[in-house]
Amino acid sequence: MIIVTRPNVTDAELDNIRERIETLGMRTHLSRGEHRTIIGCIGDETLLHEAALLSIAGVESVHPVLKPYKLASHEFSNGPSIVRVGDSAEVGGRALAIIAGPCSVEGRDMLRETARSVAASGAGMLRGGAFKPRSSPYAFQGLGEAGLKMLAEVRAETGLPIVTEVMDTRQVEMVAEYADVLQIGARNMQNFSLLSEVGRVQRPVLLKRGMSATIKEFLMAAEYVMAQGNRDVILCERGIRTYETATRNTLDIAAIPVLKAETHLPVMVDPSHAGGRVDLVAPLSFAAIAAGADGLVVEVHPTPETALSDGDQSLTLQNFEKLMRQIRPFAEAAGRTVAGPRTGLRVEAA
């Protein structure tokens, strides 16, 4: 249930409304707008049936939220949410958020080279896996904490906030010590223990859609995180599993406008995992931006042919720079901006 306040509601009235709701055993969530404030009531709504909410000073109207996801629903916010990352980045604003980097952290030199180059091309955040969920137990599983330390070192050199995956509840505290954004991969989208654990950590969460998840299941996963107090959730469409074999996954373009209508959370797209091929990254990026995505997650590697994971879908440093130029007119047509090149950081590939 949500309570919409009168335009001139005072802070004292807001405190009184929240106190009345919380006294009944429910939690409240405040979303301030330019003219009105929305108070979300979280918990057993039957507790409010006899509360006479409309008689409380400052209350204008009361509306039930019929969707199973409450905190993630569009009604629970006065407008689209902007998730701020570190001191220099945000997701959901007018500028497209671009996260770029290798699938896996393979070593300090390659990570530094990639980070400096993608930053020079305009990326706002660096991605890189220290822990890797792989289909085969014999494939490269990541460098673990050593990889996290490399990410932190490169962040100190470039200023790029880092995004990296956490796979297990036992890893959350350690990964949060190093990372600016905790990524929940597609295979863990319904790992409810993990979702709840990252919800208790004050770090933005990049939540990837499961390979066969519906929109409702996707948003319920976000609700698990938000229910623990962490409201900084970024949704990521990365393609779903269908009967089609021409691409690694099938990018659900329709999911972008549907999610923008259903939730206030920002929505990003991972064109690399969706297509699984280098030649598909650019056109899928164009489509995602045109459909309203708030940003892209792109895999980039100095020498994709030697990559320990996902080399087939990783752009070279030069091709990423080209992509950043190519997406500019699509961003402008969608009313967005793209960060320009940053000087003094580039390290050219050998």
The most confident of the ranges 29-33, 332-336, 338-342, 346-350 is 332-336
**Where residue 342 falls among pLDDT bands split at 50, 70, 90?**
low
Provide the token pair at 225: 């995180």
- Structure confidence by residue, pLDDT tens digits, 215-233: 999 999 999 999 999 999 9
- CATH 3.30.70.1140 intervals, the chain: 2-64
**Where residue 135 falls among pLDDT bands split at 50, 70, 90?**
low
Residue at 134: amino acid letter? R
163-166 own/partner pairs: CB under 8 Å, 24+ apart: 163/99, 163/101, 163/125, 163/126, 163/127, 163/128, 163/206, 163/297, 164/127, 164/128, 164/129, 164/130, 164/131, 165/129, 165/130, 165/131, 165/132, 165/133, 166/131, 166/194, 166/198
Cβ pair 210, 238 in contact under 8 A: no
- Structure confidence by residue, pLDDT tens digits, 148-206: 999 999 999 999 999 999 999 999 999 999 999 999 999 999 999 999 999 999 999 99
Task: Find all residues with CB under 8 Å of 180, minimum gap 6, and list them.
Answer: 85, 86, 89, 125, 155, 161, 162, 163, 203, 204
Distance CA 40, CA 10 (A): 17
Handedness of CA 212, 269, 105, 88 (dihedral sign): negative
What was the pLDDT predicted at 341?
A: 67
45-54 own/partner pairs: CB under 8 Å, 24+ apart: 45/1, 48/1, 48/21, 48/24, 51/20, 51/21, 51/24, 53/3
Angular region, 208: left φ>0, alpha ψ -120 to 50, beta rest = beta
- Structure confidence by residue, pLDDT tens digits, 280-328: 999 999 999 999 999 999 999 999 999 998 899 999 999 999 999 999 9
Go through 112-128 and write b for each residue having 16 or more CB atoms within 10 A of its CB, e for each that does not.
bbbbbbbbbbbbbbbbb
More confident residue, 32 or 21: 21
CATH code linked to domain 2-64: 3.30.70.1140
Cα-based distances in Å from 114 to 5, 120, 121, 272, 342: 49, 10, 11, 16, 14
What was the pLDDT predicted at 137?
A: 73
What was the pLDDT predicted at 138?
A: 66
Provide the token pair at 102: 């290798």
Task: Find all residues with CB under 8 Å of 71, minimum gap 6, and list them.
Answer: 29, 40, 42, 223, 226, 227, 231
More confident residue, 134 or 167: 167
Provide the token pair at 25: 């055993």
What was the pLDDT predicted at 349?
A: 39
**In the chain, % of residues over pLDDT 70:** 95
Distance CA 327, CA 325 (A): 6
Cβ pair 231, 207 in contact under 8 A: no
Angle at 338 between CA 335 and CA 344, to 5 degrees: 165
Q: Any idea which of 43-52, 110-119, 312-321 has the lowest mean pLDDT?
A: 43-52
More confident residue, 279 or 75: 279
Task: Find all residues with CB under 8 Å of 336, minimum gap 6, and list them.
Answer: 94, 95, 96, 289
What was the pLDDT predicted at 350?
A: 33
Q: What is the mean pLDDT of residues 129-148?
A: 80
- Structure confidence by residue, pLDDT tens digits, 243-271: 999 999 999 999 999 999 999 999 999 99
Instruction: Kindly report the length of the chain.
Output: 350
Answer whether residue 346 shows pLDDT above 50: no
- CATH 3.20.20.70 intervals, the chain: 83-333
Three-class SS state of 139: coil
What was the pLDDT predicted at 1?
A: 84
CATH code linked to domain 83-333: 3.20.20.70
**Where residue 347 falls among pLDDT bands split at 50, 70, 90?**
very low
